[in-house]
Amino acid sequence: MKPKDPAGQRLALLQGTLNLLILRTLGLGKQHGQGIARAIQRESGDELLVDHGSLYPALQRLEKLSLIQAEWGTSSNNRRARFYTLTAAGREELASETKQWCRLVEVMSRVLGLNEAI
Amino acid sequence: MSKRHDEDFHAEIEAHLQLEIDELVDGGMSRAEAARAAHRAFGNVTRSRERFYESNRWLWLDHLARNTRYALRQMKRAPVSTAAILLSLALGVGLNTSIFSLADQALVRPLPVEDPQTLVQLKWNGIFVVAGMGSNGYGNLVPFPLYHQLRDEGDVFADLFARTTANVHLALKDRSLPVNAEIVTGSFFETLGVNPRLGRLFTESDDVVPGGHPQAVISHEFWWSQFAGRESVLGEQLRINGVQLTIIGVAEKGFQGTDWSVAPSIWIPMMMKEAVTGWGGLDEHRSRFAHVFGRLKDGSTRSQAVAHLEPLFDRYLLADTELADWPSVSEDQLAGFLGSQLDVVSGAKGQSWAAEEISSPLLILAGATGLVFLLACLNVANLSVARVLGARRATALRTALGASRRRILGESLVESTVFAVIGGTLGALLAPTVSRFVLTMLGEGAGGTGLNAGLDLRVLGFALATTAVLTVLAGTTPALFAAATPPALALQQRGADGMGGPRGAAVRKAFVVAQFSLALLLLVSASLFAQTLGKLRAEGPGFSTTNLLMLEISPRNDGYDAGNAKTLVRRLQERLEALPETAEVGVAAHSMLSGGSWNNPVTVVTDQMRVATDRSLPMNAITPGFFEALGAKILMGRSFDETDSVDEGWDLRSVILNKEFVDRYLEGKDPVGGRLAFGTAPDALPEIEVIGVVESFQDTGLREPEPQIYFSLWERRVGSGTIYLRTTTDSEYTMNSVRTAMSEVDPTLTAVSLRTVDDQLDRLLVTERVLSTLASAFAVLATVLAMIGLYGVLSFSAERRRNEIGIRMALGASRWSAGSLLVREAAALAVLGLVIALPAVWGVGQLVENQLFGVQPTDLASILAAAAILFAAVLAASAYPARKLSRVKPLEALRAD
């Protein structure tokens, strides 16, 4: 894995997409903050790098909206960590946000004249 | 969801960093390298914590606490401006709340009875024809037979009652106590909807047979003060004016009858009026003593009621003229009488003579308070703006260092709120003290005892809300500008936008001009009122009041009848004359300088002319010794002596006129030997011989010299009277001898009052004194406030002009010219303020003219004096800033920026 310059080559996250990514990651199961960041990075094939500084305010926001809930637990390597899980409302939000996202992509592609290319 | 702690969040971040480090170490990094990488990836941990912290819902509270601490610190840093703002707020709120609360109580507040707004009162509009003798009352008094007729025949009122008042004596074990009684018809309590606290209240059946209902209801307050709230008080006997009355009930707390200024201790049935006061008058058509209140039938309006009453009242008037005791009157009087109308006016406020007495002074004071309030508001605005601008550099610096605009605004918002809260609280604390002071000054004589120092919450709320909004607006608006100023500009003090620039300075100068206008108004008014009081005092009643005592007695109320009362008064006068401390003693039927009098129109016939007076004139009945006690000289004829006396009843045979009467009605010609009659009818038969003319002095009031008529007290019945004693020593010391002498003559006799005539003068001048004192106090406050405002503006102006002065001085200007620059600026503002105020001074003068005496409403001396005071104030306020400016060192000033 050759080192990448984050500013130059990784994709910047669109406003609002971090929430969806977090929900999606938690949709796969219980995870702590660092695990979520890593998972997003891994799933995106290293294209997306989550700014750890903005991750926690986002988690805080989602928790406040009752879309996710948290409890302290122990990580696989025996570290204490705060684990997040989706709530029922979070699951619904994930479904509807995913649908929204698909529509957005479709519409954006149409507008940008990319349909044929895809 | 419960709130998360900061620590918890911190722990989570720590866990995150550890997990990241673990993973990086697993990937082959050294631990130290991994730690650096993890921190780098996380970014600014502190910022992250802060962002968490700020998402907290309770943050505003934290900010508030922090900003409040900051505000208090700032306030401590600028104590003068802090004190000035707080003083302005406290005075504005305090004076306003106090005076308007009092005015509300006296002039606006309805009676504390059921549904006061539906209460109505009858008012006789037109001419009332009195009998030859009797007092000439006011329009809302009606003769009692009219009340009877309305109650029995009219179908206009659902309820109706009549009431009058009396001063009675309550006999206690060893002495008697003068108390206020309200004499009422049986329907009184039911109509008002007042409930008993104990026992029962009068009903119709308690007021049927004249003299047949020896019962009384006492007030809640009297119950506590006299009977300590004992429940066993029911059924106990009270000896009122020598008549035994049984207490049947106690009225509910807070009920003070229909006149707030004369709270009665006791209520007595109308049918007992004659037995208790010695005169009933219930069938008397030719005199009127009753106030009639009632409630209209459902759905009926006052104007409908007036229309309904008209035929009934017209019949009453016509029937009146056919009665046997109808006096002979002139055509005009007859027409005026028959053309009288019975009006139905609102009775919500009850009937209060004191309200009429003090309404003008209270309204004037309310106006003055309003001006002080305005002045205080201008001051607060001005000073707040100055504060914010003063802190402009600091603000700019903080903005440059990254403080957000919201934060700075938040701070000034909190600071102004702290000011408003502290100032408002001080004002609310100050208000009752001001009220108590005013009430003490008003005293018993002008309704001071009927009002309380309690604050009206609506008034307080208004004052607090107004000052709070103003303070906050004044505190935050300039902060808004300051925060919008690019820091670099503000730091150089070149930021010409906002309130600091020329436009802002103009606004602040306008404030100062307005303040000087208001201060001038108040100073001139204060001078007018002070001169009025001074003139009234200086002119006095026309006789020397030094070492003059007055003793008011009411033998009729102490169980004497008309016959033996005369004997008693004679004996008392002789006994008092025998005291070594007294020089002369005389008795008058009516107290002088008490504001009230006995009035009648008269006709005088001399050998040269027959003159009928154009109005009712004040009269009094006196004994030999009276003029001597006052030191009044007999100018023509003789004074009364022992021959002017009858044994029983009324038989007025001799009369003395004063000089004013002779000058005004008799062309100054000697009337001795002429005759006088009551009334002005063409067939009035003058029989009373004019025996003398006395020099003019003031008997009833102080303002106008009145034509005055004196009869001999011994030629009429004696019920009550006032004994005047000229003493040889300080009269205060003689009071004890007088009391002893009185109890030697009759230990049961009550001194209704015993005081010096100087004291009586004070009571007569109470409204003038209240006006003069408060107007002066307001004027001083206004001047101080205006000075503070000017000082604030000048200090700021001086700061801004340091540069300019520095250059001027560098170019050779003297220190003097530097300082005088500022003084000239201040004087210009003051002059502008004075010029603007002049028309208002004229207007205010017209408004208060009827309260003035011996001084023109546009008194030039007052205006000049006020202007002089204000210029002194301008010099005082500008001295310090000017001195500071004149000491500017050119080099330092130029280097400063």
> Which residues from B are below 8 Å from A61, CB to CB?
55
Candidates A61, A66, A79; nearest CB to B15: A79
Within 10 A of A72 (CB to CB), how many other CB atoms are there? 13
Name the domain boundary from B19, B35, B57.
Answer: B57
**Domains held by chain B: number:** 5
pLDDT digits (tens, 9 = 90+) for B133-159: 333 445 688 889 999 898 888 788 999
Minimum Cα–Cα distance from A31: chain B residue? B16
B491 and B396 Cβ atoms separated by less than 8 Å: yes
Q: Is the pLDDT of residue B441 over 60?
A: yes
B239 and B171 Cβ atoms separated by less than 8 Å: yes
| Confidence band, pLDDT 50/70/90 cuts, at residue B51 | low
Is there a domain that residue B451 lies in? yes
| Confidence band, pLDDT 50/70/90 cuts, at residue B724 | very high
> Which residues from B are below 8 Å from A62, CB to CB?
none
pLDDT at B145: 92
Residues B721 and B806 placed together within one structural domain of the fold: no
pLDDT digits (tens, 9 = 90+) for A88-97: 999 998 998 8
The more confident residue out of B366 and B398 is B366
Residues B83 and B46 placed together within one structural domain of the fold: no
> Which residues from B are below 8 Å from A35, CB to CB?
19
> Which residues from A are below 8 Å from B52, CB to CB?
56-57, 60
Minimum mean pLDDT among B131-135, B225-229, B530-534, B862-866: which range? B131-135
| Confidence band, pLDDT 50/70/90 cuts, at residue B651 | confident
Q: Is the pLDDT of residue A5 over 50?
A: no
pLDDT at B489: 60
Name the domain boundary from B764, B792, B823.
Answer: B764
Distance CA B750, CA B572 (A): 13
B448 and B261 Cβ atoms separated by less than 8 Å: no
| Confidence band, pLDDT 50/70/90 cuts, at residue B267 | very high
SS3 B857: coil
Element (H, E) at B257: none
Element (H, E) at B196: strand B196-199
Residues B733 and B603 placed together within one structural domain of the fold: yes
- B677 forms beta bridges with B603
At B296, which amino acid appears? L
Candidates B18, B41, B55; nearest CB to A52: B41
Cα distance from B19 to chain A (closest Cα, Å)?
A: 7
Q: Is the pLDDT of residue B586 over 50?
A: yes
Residues B583 and B530 placed together within one structural domain of the fold: no
Q: For residues B791-805, b (16+ Cβ closer than 10 Å) or e, as one string?
A: bbbbbbbbbebbeeb
Does B55 lie at the interface with A, CB-CB under 8 angstroms?
yes
ipTM of the predicted assembly exceeds 0.90: no
Q: Is the pLDDT of residue B857 over 90?
A: no
Residues B144 and B52 placed together within one structural domain of the fold: no
pLDDT at B137: 46
Distance CA B278, CA B562 (A): 9
Name the domain boundary from B764, B790, B816.
Answer: B764
Is there a domain that residue B353 lies in? no
Minimum mean pLDDT among B128-137, B280-289, B351-360, B372-381: which range? B128-137
Mean pLDDT of B582-597: 84
Does B48 lie at the interface with A, CB-CB under 8 angstroms?
yes
At B820, which amino acid appears? S
> Which residues, including other chains, have CB under 8 Å from residue B312's CB and lie 6 or more apart?
B149, B150, B153, B154
Distance CA B381, CA B758 (A): 47
Is B1 within 8 Å of A60 when comparing Cβ atoms? no
pLDDT at B248: 96
pLDDT at B56: 53
Residues B42 and B101 placed together within one structural domain of the fold: no
Mean pLDDT of B858-887: 87
> Which residues from A are below 8 Å from B4, CB to CB?
60
Is B12 within 8 Å of A33 when comparing Cβ atoms? yes
Boundaries of domain holding B37: 6-57
Cα distance from A63 to chain B (closest Cα, Å)?
A: 9
> Which residues from B are below 8 Å from A82, CB to CB?
11-12, 15
Is B51 within 8 Å of A57 when comparing Cβ atoms? yes
B401 and B490 Cβ atoms separated by less than 8 Å: no
Highest mean pLDDT among A6-15, B74-83, B827-836: B827-836
pLDDT at B623: 93
Minimum mean pLDDT among B22-36, B291-305, B616-630, B767-781: which range? B22-36
Residues B534 and B600 placed together within one structural domain of the fold: no
Highest mean pLDDT among B554-563, B666-675, B760-769: B666-675
Mean pLDDT of B448-473: 84
**Alpha carbon distance, N-terminus to C-terminus of chain B:** 55
| Confidence band, pLDDT 50/70/90 cuts, at residue B804 | confident
Is there a domain that residue B315 lies in? yes
Is there a domain that residue B143 lies in? yes
> Which residues from A are below 8 Å from B7, CB to CB?
none
Residues B753 and B801 placed together within one structural domain of the fold: no
Minimum Cα–Cα distance from B57: chain A residue? A64
Residues B215 and B271 placed together within one structural domain of the fold: yes
pLDDT digits (tens, 9 = 90+) for B501-514: 556 677 778 888 88
Cα distance from B67 to chain A (closest Cα, Å)?
A: 26
pLDDT at B61: 67
The more confident residue out of B377 and B42 is B377
The more confident residue out of B891 and B254 is B254
The domain made up of A6-111 has a fold known as: Arc Repressor Mutant, subunit A (1.10.10)
| Confidence band, pLDDT 50/70/90 cuts, at residue B540 | confident
Residues B85 and B102 placed together within one structural domain of the fold: yes
Q: How many CB pairs under 8 A join A and B?
A: 61
Minimum Cα–Cα distance from B37: chain A residue? A52
Cα distance from A50 to chain B (closest Cα, Å)?
A: 9
Residues B51 and B66 placed together within one structural domain of the fold: no
Minimum Cα–Cα distance from B21: chain A residue? A34
Residues B290 and B306 placed together within one structural domain of the fold: yes
pLDDT at B132: 45
Helices (H), A10-115: 17-27, 33-43, 52-64, 88-111
Highest mean pLDDT among B135-149, B189-203, B310-324: B189-203
Q: Best interface-test mutation with B: which of A56, A67, A71 has the largest number of B CBs within 10 A?
A: A56
B272 and B243 Cβ atoms separated by less than 8 Å: yes
> Which residues from A are below 8 Å from B44, CB to CB?
53
| Confidence band, pLDDT 50/70/90 cuts, at residue B588 | very high
Q: Best interface-test mutation with A: which of B6, B12, B48 has the largest number of A CBs within 10 A?
A: B12
Cα-based distances in Å from B887 to B282, B820, B826, B878: 86, 12, 19, 14
Minimum mean pLDDT among B175-184, B325-334, B718-727: which range? B325-334
pLDDT digits (tens, 9 = 90+) for A34-84: 888 888 888 887 777 777 777 888 888 888 888 999 888 888 888 888 999
Q: Per-domain residue ranges for chain A?
A: 6-111
Minimum mean pLDDT among B151-155, B540-544, B865-869: which range? B151-155
- The residue count of chain B comes to 897
